């Protein structure tokens, strides 16, 4: 085999990205537990956007209510979210990745990307990436190496922090086989419970599972896909086609519950208006709407509606308010979210996530 011609997938993931950016801005915080979320005020309703490794040691994690995080780590420094700063830092990182020799870069978000490369020594290439990112941005990253996008993504977790790890067909079962299915990229708590009901609790059991029970539980597309995921299989080529958003969404957590129909309607109309501002520049018709409602104290419902293609803001608002009409008027509301899904252009990358056999 000519290793110099072998293609590899590298997954680059910045270590504790948001917290690391904050430390660069505030060097005196280095080594301290840092929690970033909302406006940095634990008396307000907000969730943790990120926590430094030092804060994670106290059990603090992303998505946790800020007030609970503050109780778990009482000595932590709480900071407000500064999206502009994180976007600027991310831009520098991704520009650095795109400058690497022979790299095909598929950006996944603020803090991670896939890189397609042909090399005989992917570990050395990964270390070069780490050095280049550190020199330009002063940020550390971990790199997963794989022969599929799925394996590269999963491998990164074994390299954190600041490390490199290779995961391929040759060692997939050895490394992942005894782990619970929830450790797979793309399997959350609900899916893992449904798999457990089928007698599938580990990655090796999922990898060996017949399609029939998976199809019966998850459908003809998702069932086989979960089996494929258990084997670490999927797309092998990194696609640098620019990502086109399927939709835009906004949500607001209210410091005081919404309790009257008038309050709910006003808040919903404001959210819809903000989303419509986001999609105006896209010049694509809206084809679907989603309304997220979180009732007090913490019960969430999601309502969806497919609509005929329309670029008429008045029609979108009218259909959105039909969803609002499904809200339980007798329950206080602490959060509302609204999403508008748009028609995709013909040349857009297909699919939703790179795990599903490509974009």
DSSP lists the bridge partners of residue 105 as: 115
State the Cα–Cα distance between residues 97 and 116, nearest whole angstrom: 11
> Which residues does 217 contact at the CB level (< 8 Å), separation at least 6?
194, 195, 197, 198, 223
State the Cα–Cα distance between residues 337 and 35, nearest whole angstrom: 24
Measured CA to CA in angstroms, residue 264 lies from 293, 314, 345, 350 at distances of 10, 19, 34, 36
Q: Where are the alpha helices (DSSP H) in 160-289?
A: 172-176, 189-197, 203-208, 211-218, 222-230, 261-280
Looking up tokens 């969430």, which residue turns up?
300
> Which residues does 240 contact at the CB level (< 8 Å), separation at least 6?
104, 105, 106, 116
State the Cα–Cα distance between residues 283 and 157, nearest whole angstrom: 39
Residue 112 annotated to the active site: yes
| Apex 210 CA angle, 183 and 158, nearest 5 | 20
Spot the catalytic one: 22, 54, 112, 233: 112
State the Cα–Cα distance between residues 150 and 142, nearest whole angstrom: 16
Point out the residues that are catalytic: 112
């Amino acid at each position: 085999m000519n290793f110099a011609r072998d293609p590899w997938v590298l997954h680059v993931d910045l270590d504790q990205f948001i917290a690391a950016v904050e430390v660069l801005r505030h060097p005196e915080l280095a080594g301290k537990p840092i929690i970033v979320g909302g406006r940095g005020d634990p008396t307000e309703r907000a969730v943790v956007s990120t926590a430094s490794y030092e804060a994670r040691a106290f059990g603090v994690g992303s998505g946790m209510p800020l007030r609970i995080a503050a109780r778990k780590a009482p000595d932590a420094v709480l900071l407000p979210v500064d999206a502009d700063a994180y976007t600027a830092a991310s831009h520098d990182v991704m520009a650095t990745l795109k400058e690497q020799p022979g790299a095909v870069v598929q950006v996944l978000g603020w803090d991670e990307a896939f890189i397609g490369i042909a090399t005989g020594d992917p570990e050395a290439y990964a270390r070069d990436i780490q050095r280049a990112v550190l020199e330009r941005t002063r940020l550390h990253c971990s790199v997963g190496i794989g022969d599929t996008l799925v394996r590269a993504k999963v491998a990164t977790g074994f390299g954190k922090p600041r490390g490199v790890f290779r995961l391929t067909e040759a060692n997939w079962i050895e490394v992942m086989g005894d782990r619970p299915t929830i450790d797979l990229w793309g399997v959350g708590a609900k899916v893992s419970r449904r798999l457990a009901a089928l007698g599938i609790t580990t990655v090796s059991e999922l990898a060996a599972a017949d399609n029939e029970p998976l199809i019966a539980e998850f459908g003809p597309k998702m069932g086989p896909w979960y089996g494929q995921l258990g084997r670490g299989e999927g797309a092998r080529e990194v696609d640098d086609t620019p990502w086109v958003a399927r939709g835009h969404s906004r949500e607001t957590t209210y410091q005081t519950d919404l309790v009257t129909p008038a309050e709910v309607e006003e808040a919903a109309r404001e959210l819809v208006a903000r989303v419509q501002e986001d999609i105006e520049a896209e010049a694509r018709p809206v084809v679907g709407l989603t309304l997220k409602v979180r009732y007090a104290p913490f019960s969430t419902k999601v309502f969806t509606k497919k609509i005929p293609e329309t670029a008429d803001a008045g029609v979108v608002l009218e259909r959105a308010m039909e969803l609002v009409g499904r809200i339980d008027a007798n329950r206080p509301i602490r959060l509302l979210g609204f999403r508008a899904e748009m028609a995709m252009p013909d040349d857009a990358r297909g699919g939703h996530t790179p795990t599903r056999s490509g974009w």
